[in-house]
Structure 1
């Protein structure tokens, strides 16, 4: 198997997900803020939103691997996840590159132990482990955005720190990517995927105001780091930023979004994109979007 998902819009052939269940009840037990949720959620409604997401993926030919099924006979894992309401957010726990999986090290205590579950599931599937983020580094999967298969943007903020980014740079730059673009994010931004998403080679959807608050740093092998604002960088790359929110690429020309950000959907449909819409109230209450519920394992290479 040729593992790797170094694209945000290449055909997603295989994805690792976790269907929410009774563990979400811990949000009521301890309170939303204690579990990094915005508000309490309905388990049944959250499951329905997950099922809508999975149905769209299946309709487009994507194979879904469920952590729930892969590790159903692992007693240690089952005991652990029964009290971990954030397991549904598989995106943050790992990123699967052409060299193998990078296992995250989570910044928040609400998630710190969860990576052993995703690592065990990946190993059970046969995905090689490229590296694991170590102290003092923190990296979360929502801070990876591939601009193309050889260019990785990473968010530097509250969840992913410089030490973690340095470890990713060491693992990937000059081996599996040619360029690393470090985006310094505003103080209250959680992950880069909440500010930026590529939908095609030359089109991104995002919040250009917040993305341009601070300069980015561009790394290439054998060159001094370059400091440039992202709008200037995108102009050089001939990438347009369409103002909008939270979309997810299933394959070229086919996207998914939540109904509450319909203005983004309308804008994309006017450009000729097919956009699946799913309910998103529980996503919002959980402080998430569809992207957060996915850890892509295999995407088609789409070149540049």
Structure 2
């Protein structure tokens, strides 16, 4: 249970499944507050590179299917399910348009042998981007527009008393339909290193992380909005991030990290979801 161990299995949903067609994209992108309409062909090419990076890192890549009822947002596979020592947990998502994703994703993974430990039910809400495992017994959860106190209470009940849950208050986004997850401001890189955007991280969270021996690499101001803080660890200090973030990349390399980048104009920037959003790691070791 961590966000930096070697990825052995990971779920993704391809643009071919999530975006489907130019007609679907044209119908949905503005209502979902994408910055622009994604180009399906270019999105497929970008996602091919992302999946290749995962496969080359030794991960089994599970491609999630789509019934046709899901929206463009379903490409961001992390959010619909949580991973726990007891099995997968189906989320009740804070964005109404995404309510269909947890059941579909869980059903496909159950058919592959993954156990489902439980689900978050209304009025509780929770999304995967608000949940970060540090180790088997320590979990940080962001409380904000997509994850509420009742969702966190239910999560604690499912996990049991052996897991310490540290709640991190999140700033409100500028628009109620926009997203600001916990992983918007922190990405674990190793057991003792994390990438953060310091101006938004509460002092109590910094103190909790520091007490666990975690040091920090800080994202510069000008690279925060372009998702400089959204970095996926393929294994300890072996990272995948968006291109076009040279200062953050240089800081990570100076901290002893290996960094590879992918072009995410269609699959990341237009819908505001980086590599952690696009992937649901299922097994790490």
Alpha-carbon shift at residue 230 of structure 1 (Å) = 1.6
Q: Is the CA contact (8 Å cut-off) linking 1:260 and 1:280 kept in structure 2?
A: no
Report the Cα offset of residue 240 of structure 1.
1.6
Partners in 1 of 2:160 and 2:278 — Cα distance?
27
Contact 1:197 1:246 in 2 (8 A): yes
Q: How does 1:64-79 map to 2 (within 5 A)?
A: 64-68=61-65, 78-79=67-68
- 1:272-287 aligned at under 5 Å gives the runs 272-282=256-266, 283-287=268-272
SS of residue paired to 1:23? coil
Compared with structure 1, are the counterparts of its residues 27 and 35 closer, same or farther at alpha carbon in structure 2 (3 Å cutoff)?
farther
> Displacement of 1:197 after TM fit?
1.1
Distance 1:17 1:235 in 2: 32
Deviation at 1:160, TM superposition (A): 0.5
Query: Which residue is 1:233 aligned to?
Result: 208
Name the Cα RMSD after superposition: 1.6
Comparing 238-247 and 154-163, the one that deviates more: 238-247
User: What's 2:276 paired with?
Assistant: 291
**C-alpha distance in 2 between matches for 1:200 and 1:109:** 34
TM-score (norm 1): 0.83
Structure 2 equivalent of residue 28 of structure 1: 26
* Deviation string, structure 1 residues 102-126 (Cα, Å, up to 9, x no partner): 1011111221122221121121111
**CA offsets 1:23-67 (integer angstroms, 9 cap, x no match):** 36323124x341242221111222222111111111111110111
Distance 1:195 1:157, change over 3 A: same
Counterparts of residues 152-301 of structure 1 (less than 5 Å):
152-175=139-162, 177=163, 179-188=164-173, 190-212=180-202, 229-244=204-219, 245-282=229-266, 283-300=268-285
Alignment of 1:32-47 (within 5 A): 32-47=29-44
Q: Which consecutive aligned stretches of 4+ in structure 1 deviate over 4 angstroms post-superposition?
A: none
The answer for unaligned runs of 5 or more in structure 1 is 1-5, 69-76, 216-228
Deviation per residue, 1:163-202 (Å, 9 max, x gap): 0011111111424x2x111100001162111111111111
Kept in 2, the 8 Å contact 1:139–1:165? The answer is yes
Matched residue of 2:89: which SS? strand
Call closer, same or farther: CA 1:173–1:208 in 2, change over 3 Å: farther
Cα offset, 1:231, TM superposition: 2.1
Q: CA deviation at 1:150?
A: 1.9
Aligned to 2:126: 139
1:110/1:262 Cα in 2 relative to 1: closer, same or farther (>3 Å)?
A: farther
Relative to structure 1, the CA distance from residue 162 to residue 240 in structure 2 (aligned partners, 3 Å threshold; closer, same or farther) is: same
2:83 — aligned with what? 96
Tell me the SS of whatever aligns to 1:34.
coil
Distance 1:79 1:278, change over 3 A: closer
- TM-score, normalised to structure 2, is 0.89
- In structure 1, which of residues 51, 61, 71 is the aligned counterpart of residue 58 of structure 2? 61
* 1:49 is aligned to 2:46: yes
1:19 aligns with 2:14: yes
Correspondence for 1:222: none
